[in-house]
Amino acid sequence: MNYEAPLTSLVWITSSFSFAFTYIVSSMIIPTLGGDTSQWWKLATNYFVWHLAGAIIPELGKVFTSTESRHVEKSSGPPKKAALPRHPFLDS
């Protein structure tokens, strides 16, 4: 079972809502900023890009950290116990 799927779905659903909500609220709150009527969508787009990066970066990280990733599936079991290094002064 993929335990990450519900969280991934939740991230994309809330991100989609946030994207739409940002444009709607920005157009209502700041229709003109400093006499320029195009500032609201520029600010909303700036927020959209940063928020999109915040949603995509964890997805890219799952390539390396997911239990479903290819390199994890290649693992042949638990790691071998490593030998501890000897201390030159204490281990005589």
The model's pTM: 0.59
Buried b (16+ CB within 10 A) or exposed e, 34-61: eeeeeebeeebeeebeeeeeebeeeeee
Can you tell me the distance from the alpha carbon of 92 to that of 89, in angstroms, rounded to the nearest whole number? 7
Per residue in 58-92, pLDDT tens?
888 887 777 777 766 666 566 667 677 777 777 65
